[in-house]
Amino acid sequence: MITLAVDCMGGDHGPRVTLAACRQFLDKHPKAHLLLVGKTESLESFQHERVTLVAASEVVGMDDPVEVALRRKKDSSMRVAIEQVKAGAAAAAVSAGNTGALMAIARYVLKTLDGIDRPAIAAQLPNGLGRATTVLDLGANVDCTAEHLLQFAFMGTALVSVLDEGSKASVGLLNIGEEAIKGSDIIKRSGELLRTAGQAGEINFFGNVEGNDIFKGTVDIVVCDGFVGNVALKTSEGVASMISNGLKQEFKRNLLTKLAAVIAYPVLSALMKRMDHRRYNGAALLGLRGLVFKSHGSADAIAFEYALSRAYDAACNNLLDRVRSRIARAAPLLDATPAIAAAPLSAS
Amino acid sequence: MITLAVDCMGGDHGPRVTLAACRQFLDKHPKAHLLLVGKTESLESFQHERVTLVAASEVVGMDDPVEVALRRKKDSSMRVAIEQVKAGAAAAAVSAGNTGALMAIARYVLKTLDGIDRPAIAAQLPNGLGRATTVLDLGANVDCTAEHLLQFAFMGTALVSVLDEGSKASVGLLNIGEEAIKGSDIIKRSGELLRTAGQAGEINFFGNVEGNDIFKGTVDIVVCDGFVGNVALKTSEGVASMISNGLKQEFKRNLLTKLAAVIAYPVLSALMKRMDHRRYNGAALLGLRGLVFKSHGSADAIAFEYALSRAYDAACNNLLDRVRSRIARAAPLLDATPAIAAAPLSAS
């Protein structure tokens, strides 16, 4: 029996979406147990034998500053969900709330793993090979040192090993050219550290990759700082949505194009399904002493259910132990770099 | 009569593409004159009353390191084309060659304008409003100070004013959230400088924008450092190409889908035309004492012709004077910031 703690109040839609997703998830996962965290009046109508309601009197708003979420709302559904993980009552927490607040609270409540200076946000993006590329960091850290990027490579490798046991996941360093001489000093130094780790057999380092390689599927894992990762993620969402809106406009233009739309519908819908971003919902907050997954704030029930499944799979496959042991194995490499004991949190 | 100097040897395809584009361009621009620069044997078959051949014995390869292009190939078609601008024989130079080499040679031959520390590469990307968003820098500068980003805002405003005379083009700062507290220290400081310039009426500063805003058309101009801009550009190319390949695959799946493709073809082709990246080919190298335009290396004749037209329009509309006068008007704002006389070139 695996138990997840669900922040039912988070996200743009709150319980309407999260509870519908929880019901679908429970139907498909007969061994799962859920702790539904939130305001009693919002949740009490939900009855299920594998569900326990956990009351939380406050809600972190999507626009709440990190400080408000962290210091003033100590009984928020987000925080209480994470505290279930800390207390050992749940194997993972899932929230669609404000990313910056989630990272700050998770870090404050759970603390980081030994050997990890900065937790990172890792998500999967669909690629042209029909698989997924794992990208981290996606916005937790706006300034990263080369050592942080090395840690991201180890954590990303552990995450991918959960999903694809036998593989030796390849890691690419996001840069503005393939050659090792490209990029800023930090990026060049990151390349050196990653190459050393690759030569030591701790990761499967491919080399530099460029923005388009994320969607080509050139490597399994792409590491970058949170500023660049966030821009890449939002840019890709922007392009996809421009093309999809453009298609809709063109097909609505006149009677003939509307007829074409009817005929092309099955084909377009097959493509949409393949690239449906909802299937990739559920970003992992890595580097903490507990599992926390972040759903997109605008997720619908289908998307939120994917985030729950992702957290469930990670818990079933001991993602936490895998990250811990990867970091431990890599200790000699990481110890050789200056430790930053109390790096300031720069949450997005 | 406006004269352009064309590096006919640059790009993935060389004279086969550049000469075809030049012929089309001359047909459409009866007042244009072209200096075709390259190896005599490659160009001598091209006969036109408004064309002059200029011999250059060397070619900068797409993979040539910047140092080789700059120091060892002093008679390259790229360099000779830029020297035509320096000598006043041409109003602008156009090349599809290696970006890093082009920027380095242009900077070395032409020098930067007074008040500009770093030239930038500015290109237009299609947006959902059916217009274009101008983004800079796209890869000339991997590390930028807040002052550089302010200069980019001025140069971008001058560039857009060439295309759309009456408009007060809006400028957005690429960040990972809308709030002014987001981003690194450099980004926050850039926000302050841009706000001050906006309050002084020198630019129309909108505030922070995110990656998706480039394609939404939230602002006319997006400023960012060259690392982030390059990642955003390549990422957007990657997504567009994944979706377009996915469409092709789905439509080719069986006889029915192939039939659907025939019927949907006019609609898809209308969309492709609207978003055709070739229409946006031709990035401006801004901040130099002369006009230089960069075509995509893989450009075909249609795309290269767009780059020629863009350079021609910029020359007709005195882009150089506009950039110069914007920078001069902004001198009090820029002078308040530390001048970096000899910033190292970090070309991508």
Q: Looking at per-residue confidence, does A189 or A168 come out higher?
A: A189
**Per the structure block, which two tokens stand in for B216?**
């939404």
For position A248, what pLDDT does the model report? 84
Residue A348: its pLDDT value, please? Answer: 36
Kindly give the residue spans of alpha helices, DSSP state H, lying in chain A.
Answer: 15-28, 40-43, 66-67, 77-86, 99-110, 146-163, 185-199, 211-216, 226-251, 255-275, 301-316, 319-329, 331-335
The pLDDT of residue B250 = 83
- The pLDDT of residue B342: 34
Report pLDDT digits (tens) over A14-65. 999 999 999 999 999 999 999 999 999 999 999 999 999 999 999 999 888 8
Q: Is the confidence metric ipTM above 0.85 for this complex?
A: yes
Q: Choose among A338, A223, A282: nearest CA to A92.
A: A282
CB contact under 8 A, A232 and B235: yes
Query: DSSP secondary structure string, B184-199?
Result: -HHHHHHHHHHHHHHH
Q: How far apart are the first and last CA of chain B?
A: 34
- Residue A38 Ramachandran class (φ > 0 left, ψ -120 to 50 alpha, else beta): left
Determine the pLDDT at residue A150: 94
Of A294, A303, A311, which is closest to residue A122 (Cα–Cα)? A294
**Is A231 close to B176, i.e. CB distance below 8 A?**
yes
Residues 24-53 of A with CB under 8 A from B: none
In this structure, are B1 and B108 located in the same domain?
A: yes
Residues 57 through 86 of chain B touching chain A, CB cutoff 8 Å = none
**pLDDT classification of A124: cutoffs 50, 70, 90:** very high
Q: Under an 8 A CB cutoff, do A182 and B126 touch?
A: no
CB neighbour list of residue A18: distance below 8 Å, 6 or more residues apart: A6, A7, A8, A9, A10, A11, A96, A304
Predicted confidence (pLDDT) at residue A167 exceeds the cutoff of 70: no
How far A258 CA sits from the closest chain B CA (Å)?
10
Q: How far apart are CA B212 and CA A233, in angstroms?
A: 9
Query: Does residue A259 sit at the B interface (CB-CB below 8 Å)?
Result: yes
Tens of pLDDT, residue by residue over A287-310, are 999 999 999 999 999 999 999 999
Q: What are phi and psi of B49, to 5 degrees?
A: -65, -25
Contact list, B247 vs chain A (CB under 8 Å): 267-268, 271
A194 and A329 assigned to the same domain: yes
B305 close to B21: Cβ distance less than 8 angstroms: yes
Closest Cβ opposite residue B239 in set A210, A239, A245? A239
- Is A241:A144 a contact under the CB 8 Å cutoff? no
Instruction: Please tell me the predicted confidence (pLDDT) of residue A108.
Output: 96
Provide the chain A residues 123-182 that lie in CB contact (below 8 A) with chain B: 126-128, 139, 142-143, 174, 176-177, 182
Q: Are strands A221-223 and A283-286 parallel, antiparallel or unpaired?
A: unpaired
When the pLDDT of each residue in chain A is averaged and rounded to a whole number, the result is 89
Q: Chain A contact for B121, CB < 8 A?
A: no
pLDDT score of A252 more than 90? no
What pLDDT was estimated at residue B164? 67
Using CA coordinates, name the residue in chain B closest to A188: B142
Residues B325 and B313 in one domain: no
Least Cα distance to A99 among B209, B182, B227 occurs for B182
Please state, for a pLDDT cut of 70, what percent of chain A lies above it: 94
One domain, residues A46 and A163: no
CB contact under 8 A, B216 and A238: yes
Which residues are CB-contacts of B346 (< 8 A; sequence separation ≥ 6)? A184, B140, B141, B142, B143, B226
Interface test with A, best of B64, B143, B179, B231 (most A CBs within 10 A): B231
Contact of A9 with A38, CB cutoff 8 Å: yes
3-state secondary structure A123-157: EEEECCCCCEEEEECCCCCCCCCHHHHHHHHHHHH
Percent of chain A with pLDDT over 90: 67
The CA distance from B186 to the nearest CA of chain A, in Å, is 10
> By the CB < 8 Å criterion, does A267 face chain B?
yes
Asked if B228 contacts B174 with a C-beta cutoff of 8 angstroms, the reply is yes
* pLDDT of amino acid A338: 46
Question: How far, CA to CA in Å, does A43 sit from each of A6, A16, A226, A303?
Answer: 12, 10, 35, 20
DSSP calls for B99-134: HHHHHHHHHHHH-BPTT-SS-EEEEEEE-TTSSEEE
For residue A246, give the chain B residue with the closest CA: B271
User: Do A280 and A124 form a contact (C-beta atoms < 8 A)?
Assistant: yes
DSSP-assigned letters across all residues of A282-313 = -EEEESBSSEEEE--TT--HHHHHHHHHHHHH
Closest to B10 measured CA to CA, from B82, B67, B71: B82
Q: Give mean pLDDT, residues B159-187.
A: 85
Distance of CA A44 to the CA centre of its chain: 29
Do A107 and A197 fall within a single domain?
no
Residues B106 and B10 in one domain: yes
For β-strands A32-38 and A51-55, DSSP reports them as parallel
Query: Looking at CA atoms only, how far is residue A208 from chain B in angstroms?
Result: 12
Alpha-carbon distance of B153 to B203, in angstroms, equals 8
Among A299, A169, A144, A292, smallest CA distance to A229 is for A144
List pLDDT tens digits, range A74-121.
Answer: 999 999 999 999 999 999 999 999 999 999 999 999 999 988 888 999
Write down the pLDDT at residue B24. 97
Distance CA A216, CA B244 (A): 12
Give me A274's structure tokens.
């393949």
What string of DSSP letters covers B130-160? Answer: SSEEEEE-SSS-SS--HHHHHHHHHHHHHHH
For residues B244 and B147, membership in a common domain is answered with yes
Nearest Cβ partner of A174 from B231, B253, B264?
A: B231
Give which of B214, B234, B276 to mutate to test A binding, by max A Cβ within 10 Å.
Answer: B234
Domain count along chain B: 2
The CATH number of residue A103's host domain is 3.40.718.10
A273 shares a domain with A306: no
Give B298-347 pLDDT, tens digit per residue. Answer: 999 999 999 999 999 999 999 999 999 888 877 777 665 543 333 333 43
Domain ranges, residue A89: 1-113+287-317
Query: Touching check for B298 and chain A: CB below 8 Å?
Result: no
pLDDT reported for residue A335:
63
Per the CB < 8 A criterion, the answer to whether B254 and B44 are in contact is no
Least confident of A55-59, A214-218, B182-186: B182-186
Residues A267, A342 within the same domain: yes
DSSP string spanning B9-76?
T-TTTTHHHHHHHHHHHHHH-TTEEEEEEE-HHHHTT---TTEEEEE--B---TT--HHIIIII-TTB
B239-288 residue pLDDT tens:
988 888 888 888 888 888 888 888 888 888 887 777 777 888 999 999 99
What pLDDT sits at residue B336?
A: 56
CB contact under 8 A, B227 and A251: no
* B326 and B313 within one domain: no
Q: State residue A290's pLDDT score.
A: 97
CA–CA gap between residue A37 and residue A55 (Å, rounded): 6
pLDDT digits (tens, 9 = 90+) for B202-252: 899 999 999 999 999 999 999 999 999 999 999 999 998 888 888 888 888
**Quick one: B196 and B325 in the same domain?**
yes
Amino acid (one-letter) located at B81: A
β-pairing verdict for B92-95 and B51-55: unpaired
Confidence (pLDDT) at B165: 63
Neighbours of A65 (CB within 10 A): 16
Report chain B's mean pLDDT, rounded to a whole number.
89
| Amino acid B334: pLDDT | 67
pLDDT at A342 over 70: no
Quote the CA–CA distance of A110 and A66 in Å, as a whole number.
Answer: 16
Cβ(B111)–Cβ(B57) below 8 Å: no
CB atoms within 10 A of CB B332: 9
The verdict on a CB contact (< 8 Å) between B215 and A241 is yes
Shortest Cα distance from B35 to chain A (angstroms)? 32
Q: What average pLDDT does this structure show over B91-99?
A: 95
With H, G, I as helix, E, B as strand and everything else as coil, classify residue B204.
Answer: strand
Residues B168 and B256 in one domain: yes
